[in-house]
Amino acid sequence: MRHLYTTLALAISVACQGITEAPAVVTPAMAADCPLTNSIPLCGIQCLMSAGSAVGCSDVRDLQCACKSASKIRDKAAPCVTRSCGRRRGSSLESVAAAICTQCVR
């Protein structure tokens, strides 16, 4: 579950920041199409964005890429998320991310 929170939070973070331009790749699992993304704690967004970019998810709103690369994103983002969010909020982020990958990615 820990790997899912990172991936989803990454995708959600950009959606929550009000980015309005069209994504580079349109898939059925875009952050804008998943209402659960609004539940991601904002404290770890920068961590997730950096980690997602580092593993090749060029459009962080692409949940398919984020969920597919979840373990890599988790490994890169975990220390930053823990520093930025603390354990409790980081755990909340993990739970929401897991739900997003389960419910929003086909």
Task: Check the annotation: does 62 bind a ligand.
Answer: yes
Q: What's the Cα-to-Cα distance from 76 to each of 26, 37, 103, rounded to whole Å?
A: 25, 20, 24
Closest by CA to 61, choosing from 79, 44, 47, 49, is 49
* Residue 40 Cα distances to 8, 12, 25, 100, angstroms: 8, 7, 22, 10
Three-state SS at 29: coil
Q: Residue positions in the annotated binding site for heme?
A: 62
Annotated binding site: 62
